[in-house]
Each structure stands twice: as C-alpha cells, then as structure tokens.
Structure 1
Amino acid sequence: MDWQSYARGLALGVVRPESRWYGPLATTPRHVFVPRWWARGNQVWELRDGPADAEIWMRSAYTDRTLVTRIGPVHADQAEPGATVKTGSPTSSSTLPGLVVTMYRHAMIADDSRVLVTTGTGYGTALMCRRLGDDRVTSVDIDPYLVTTATERLDSIGLHPRTAIADLTGHLPGEYDRIVSTVSVRPVPASWLTALRPGGRLVTTLAGTGLIVTADKTEDGGATGRVTPDSAGFMRTRHGDDYDQNTDELWRKVQEADGESVTTSRYPLLYVPDSWEVMSMLALTTPGIDHRTTTAGDTRTVWMLHPDGSWARASASGFLDSPTVHQGGPRRLWDELERIRHRLNREGGLPVYGAHVRVDPDGTLTLSRGSWSIKA
C-alpha cells in the first residue's frame, strides 16, 4: 500500500511544508494505529475493517477527522466481523490529526522538552516521537488494552517511548516539561502540577466544554495561563470500561411528561453542543447536563437532563418557530440556557474564550475576564 502519498496529502492539508509538524505527519502511518473503527450508520455504529478494503482504509485514515475506535466497552479491534452497536457513547478514538497538532502547538514544545501525552490509539504519541525522539516521550492511559496495543504498534514502526498504564488524574510516572492531554478533565489534577517541572506547561480541555486551557507552572506550585481562541472537544477521563449513564432512567421517565413549567422560548431551537461558546458557558455555570436530540418528521426536540433530576424538553417544527419548552425537577435548566443566550444577544459574545486561567496547587481552577469570574 502506498500509504506515504496519503500521509503527505494529510500533512499538506493540516500544516504548511515548513512546519516542524509536517515531517511527523508525512512520515507516520496512521493506518497502523486504526486498523478497525466504528462509523455512525442509520441509528447504529457499524464496524469498519481497514484490511478488508485498502482504499477505504487509506482514505479514512489519512483524512483529517476523528475515527472512533471504541463504543462503551466494545473496542473495534475485538468486535466480530460485521458487528454493530446500537447504544453507547464513544470511549476511545484516534483524534483528528489537525487537532492533535493544535494541542501540541499550544504546548510550545522545545527541542529538549520532556513530554507526557495521553495514549489512545498511539498515533498522537507517534507524532510526538517523530518530533522529539522517543526517549523524550511518555504516554499513559488507564486502559491496559490500549496501552499494550499502542506499544506494540509503536514498536512495529520503530518507535519506543515510555508507555504506562496509569490513571491520568492520579500519580504520574515522572517529571515533565509539558503535559498535553487529549482527554478532558475537570478539575485539573493536582498531580499534574506535582509532575510539571518549574516553568513547565500543561495543555488540556475542560470536561463538558469546548475550552482549551494552557497554563504555565508558577513558583508557588500552581499555574497561570489562558483559554485559547481555539475550540476542541475530547472524551472526559473515565475510571472503568464505560461512562456512567446517570440520566438514562430520567430520560425514560420524562419523554412524554408534562413539565411543571411550560413556556414558549423567545429564541430558535438550539441543540447546545452545536454552539461551542454557549455549551462552554453553560457547562461552567451548570455542569453535568446531558444533551440529547430526536427528530420526528418535521419536529425536532432537544433535551437537557441532569443527574439531580432536573430536565427540559424543547420542541419546534421549523428553524424560525418558537419552541415549546417543558421543564421539571429542582432546577430550570432551560432558564439557565436562556440567561446565557440573553447575555450573548446583549453583549455580542461570552467571556469564556480568552479568559485568564489560574490553577491553584490543589488543582482548583478559576477563569476570569474583566468583572466575570468562575471556579471550574
């Protein structure tokens, strides 16, 4: 297979030829790390087997997009041929290469940096090894299968970084100049600050938001930085084979229920994850909301569900129609969303992007911009 020409095409689509990341992108065989993956089909996730169709494999692996490799506890590598998965959330993937490079660029990596990265499929680890040399790279993941498989695939292309099975939120195996997480966290683990060398930098996303945070270690053991102008969404850290589905029972209970409050919204229907800025602000003020959407004919419905029993359901038949909103439980989730949309409409923007970041030594994170501040 002429994977090299595909890899060069990917590199040219992500960076300029003079970029220090062009070489790693152009010389790293991404298909080695994603021989099988899950593709979203009609109401189900469908297994794709790369070796069964080399052309589709090459096109998929060397396109700048995320390839989902695991749904719930079911990894594509271990699924039966022709398998489908009806329910579940992605729990592992090969992140789109352009976003991996964006995260690495925010880390401001020097040629002598020692870097900790998250493992996943191992492709991002391979890019970092190509950039720095594998002796300067440590790669960790909580999943033994992912670490073992990524290590074998890295070995197969001549790369031998340090790999370890480790909970990213716990003790880390060493000290580093940079920590770059393509898994989202909240709060920032205090162990990261312990593992960072003086002046070291961490780069991560905050769980539930689209916010990329960079912060440099300060003399008091904390860190300061900012929220970057770029947006990104990563899977959050997990401590088992799957994420807890804390709102499934609530979802079943309230699908046809009348709300304790029934109103008409002044704004068009919004599925919150479609708006990075609104989603991020809402996740900071009201964390833990599960967003879902359904369509029946011309009617689209969006849901907001919270583990505390709060819920909202909004439906509309057209883009310009005012949605009818049902709300129940201890909090009015749609009202929280409306307050944010009022502010966006009034001020033309929200204060989350570009905000100053302060991470205390215990991991407490504060975002602030002008008179606005919030602990995240």
Structure 2
Amino acid sequence: MGMDWRASARRLADEVVRPESRWWKPIASTPRHLFVPRWWERSAGGRVVGDGAADPGAWLATAYANDTVVTRIGPLHADHADPGTVASRGIPTSSATLPELVVTMYRHAMLADGCATLVTTGSGYGTALACARLGSELVTSVDVDPYLVKAAAARLDAIGLRPRTAVHDLTLAPLPGLYDRIVSTVSVRPVPAAWLEALRPGGRLVTTITGTGLILAADKAPDGGARGHIAYDGASFMAARHGDDHDGPAPSDAVWEAADGDGESVTTSRYPLLYVPDSWAVRSMLELQAPGIEHRRRRGGHSVWMAHPDGSWARAQAAGSGMTPTVHQGGPRRLWDVLEAIRDRLNTAGELPVYGARVTITPDGETTLSRGRWSAVL
C-alpha cells in the first residue's frame, strides 16, 4: 500500500514487551493498520468514522498506538458507514483490542509450541499475533459475525496467514474442533460448557467475566470441569453477542426517568461519591453480587446514577469533590445499599476477594469463585 508502517510497528512492540519476549517479533512484524482500515473515533457528538485511505497519518497513529480501536458500533461496522457518519448512540460491538492486552491474555493462556488454539476473531489482529507465534495451522479463529470472519480471513490471507476460520457462536456446542487452549477476547458469564467439551485434557481456557474486570484462567480437570484462578491483573472486554447487536436486558427509559425523582428511600452515604466503573475491584464485586447494573454520571458534576433492568435505581448527589452524597433509591432493590456493603468490606479488610480467587467450573459450566469464606456462583 506504499505505507511505511514497519517503524511504527517496531515502536509499538518496544512499548508493549521487552525485546527478548517471544511476542516482540509478532507485534513488530504484523501490519495492524490492515486490520483497521476504517474505525470509529471519539468526537464531540459521539463517534465519527475514521478513514485510513483518506488520512494515512491518522491511520498510522491510530493503528500503532497501544489502544483499542473500535470498529463496530451497535450493528454498524465502520467499513460500511458513509464518510462523516456520526454514531451518537449505541455501544461498541467489535474492535481491535489493544496489543498489550492481547499479549496479556495469551500469556495467561501459556501458549506453547504445538498448542492447537481457538481464539476470537474481531478485527483479526489478535488472530494474526497468534498465527505469528504458533503458526497458522495451529490457530482457529471464530466469530458470530459473518462479515468479521470474512474480512479478517481476507486480511490475514493478504499477509500470508491462513488459520482456520469459522462463523460460530462461541457459547454454543459443538465448537469446530478440539483445542489445547481457548482464549476469548469477548467476555462470558458463566464459562460455556461448550468450551469444556472442546478442551483437551490438561488444556487451558482464558477469558473475562462479563461486566467485570476479572481475567479467568482455568485448566481442564479429569472430571470434565476445570480448576483455576482469577488473575491479579485486570481486563475488560465486550460481552459475547449472539446476533447483530448486544441483546441483553437493559434498564428502560422509564427507570432512568424515575432515577431523577425522590424515590422511596433518601439517605446520606457513609463514603465520598464513587462512580463505580472507576474502581475495577468494586465494579467486579458489585457485578458478581448484582449483575446487570448500568452506571451513568454527569461530566463535571457530582452526581452518579445506577439502574437495573428489574426497575431498581439509585442516584447519589454530592455538594462537592470528596463530600458524602445524598442518596435517593427506588424500585424493588436498594442498589446503593449493596454498593455500601461492598465498600464496608473494602474499608474493613483493605481489599476485596475477587482478585486471586480460586475458580471451580463443573462440566456443565457452573462457575464458582471463592477466596477464604467468600464465594460467588456465576
């Protein structure tokens, strides 16, 4: 394409790993820009399409930054959006994951020479790194989205990489083969039983738990389940989807509207205002105890909102930074009270038990996290 990308790829490799790492060469030799010819970049009104062919400088800067590059918002891929299109609503549904995080997931998987490995497709960049490390013949790349698989396969082929590809819902059996490693850069909850069926004895799976910052690594056990742990480092990925868009339940507009009212409960918090997504440990613990809460805040203000599809909501408003907020709550559950109990535990113990927790997965996929006297079933 006439673009001098190699120096940028080498700088990216230097940023992500040390020169002696086995991952340095795959990062330094993979033309990441080919996997993100168009992307969604942040703008004042939401996200706007970036076009590499129209702006090669921005293309290089975007592709070779150690950042996630969003390629799909809701059902609309940047490849199919008209120039100048602004996506003001919708959440990301596909991306090229930041290289450092791809390598982190592969390191937790302990990829070794000869490992037959299943990965998730997305843009195809993570697949390219796996192929460069293991050889294309050992890599299978799957995605629920036919276009993503088709586009990634063509872009991989253009640089001489030909892994097996398949359009498949990763959560459903049977998966297209048997594997020594399964590495998912989409999040799941719980671990799909299909993975356990497709994992060879002693094989390892690595994924993240939906709605949390928790990396789960587990090895196939003789009983057909798996045993493992939650890593001490964190990561967050888009949730696995089963169609054109994320199809899970969400709080209705009526719940968000109610969250601006007085509610049935008005209290003063014991702690300064917290926007939960800013604290991965708190967010992860809350999601395990009360999955499905969505969070909003007012930029530049001192108000946060929580809402759940069951109609529960909470609004906390503080007079200033570091001050304790007044909390309004409504609906069938008191969401802020659940959050306060987690903060009580953090304040008392100095940490939360989610990171470093033991993981036990039954053959049918029931996943239990435990640490000391604490446990949670996904």
Taking structure 2 as the reference length, the TM-score comes to 0.97
After superposition, residues 250-289 of structure 1 pair within 5 angstroms as 250-289=254-293
CA distance in 2, matches of 1:300, 1:322: 10
SS of aligned partner of 1:185: coil
SS of aligned partner of 2:336: helix
Kept in 2, the 8 Å contact 1:310–1:333? The answer is yes
Query: What CA deviation, in whole Å up to 9, does each residue of 1:301-357 have, x standing for no partner?
Result: 211111111111112242212111110000000000000001101110000000000
Query: What CA deviation, in whole Å up to 9, does each residue of 1:130-168 have, x standing for no partner?
Result: 001100000000001101111111111111000000000
Kept in 1, the 8 Å contact 2:52–2:59? The answer is yes
- For 1:91, which of 90, 93, 117 is the aligned residue? 93
2:26 aligned with 1:17: no
CA distance in 1, matches of 2:313, 2:297: 13
CA distance in 2, matches of 1:361, 1:367: 15
Kept in 2, the 8 Å contact 1:46–1:82? The answer is yes
Which ranges of 4 or more aligned residues in structure 1 deviate by more than 3 Å? Answer: none
Query: What CA deviation, in whole Å up to 9, does each residue of 1:51-78 have, x standing for no partner?
Result: 1111111111101000111111111110
- For 1:181, which of 163, 184, 191 is the aligned residue? 184
- Name the structure 1 match of 2:317: 315
Query: What CA deviation, in whole Å up to 9, does each residue of 1:75-122 have, x standing for no partner?
Result: 111000011011111111111000000000000111010000000000
2:4 aligned with 1:2: yes
**Code of the aligned partner of 1:286:** A
SS of aligned partner of 1:164: strand
Kept in 2, the 8 Å contact 1:299–1:317? The answer is no
**Code of the aligned partner of 1:288:** G
CA distance in 2, matches of 1:51, 1:355: 46
**Code of the aligned partner of 2:93:** T
After superposition, residues 131-150 of structure 1 pair within 5 angstroms as 131-150=133-152
2:186 aligned with 1:195: no
Kept in 2, the 8 Å contact 1:250–1:305? The answer is no
Structure 1: segments with no counterpart, 5+ residues:
none
CA distance in 2, matches of 1:51, 1:229: 40
- Name the structure 1 match of 2:125: 123
Query: What CA deviation, in whole Å up to 9, does each residue of 1:242-265 have, x standing for no partner?
Result: 123621323443143211101111
After superposition, residues 192-341 of structure 1 pair within 5 angstroms as 192-244=195-247, 246-295=250-299, 299-341=301-343
SS of aligned partner of 2:376: strand
Structure 2: segments with no counterpart, 5+ residues:
none
CA distance in 1, matches of 2:44, 2:6: 33
**Code of the aligned partner of 1:287:** P
Percent of pairs with identical residues = 65
SS of aligned partner of 2:242: coil
SS of aligned partner of 2:53: helix
Taking structure 1 as the reference length, the TM-score comes to 0.98
CA distance in 1, matches of 2:246, 2:91: 8
CA distance in 2, matches of 1:266, 1:368: 28
Kept in 2, the 8 Å contact 1:209–1:279? The answer is yes
- Name the structure 1 match of 2:367: 365
Q: Give the CA RMSD over aligned residues.
A: 1.1
CA distance in 2, matches of 1:89, 1:56: 23
Kept in 2, the 8 Å contact 1:189–1:363? The answer is yes
CA distance in 1, matches of 2:270, 2:256: 28
2:345 aligned with 1:343: yes
1:240 CA drift (Å) = 1.5
Kept in 1, the 8 Å contact 2:230–2:357? The answer is yes
Query: What CA deviation, in whole Å up to 9, does each residue of 1:10-57 have, x standing for no partner?
Result: 000000011000010000000000011111211411111111111111
CA distance in 1, matches of 2:110, 2:260: 51
Kept in 2, the 8 Å contact 1:185–1:204? The answer is yes
Q: Which moved more, 1:66-75 or 1:193-202?
A: 66-75
Kept in 1, the 8 Å contact 2:255–2:312? The answer is no
CA distance in 1, matches of 2:268, 2:113: 57
**Code of the aligned partner of 1:63:** A
Aligned residues: 374
SS of aligned partner of 1:51: coil
Kept in 1, the 8 Å contact 2:250–2:292? The answer is no
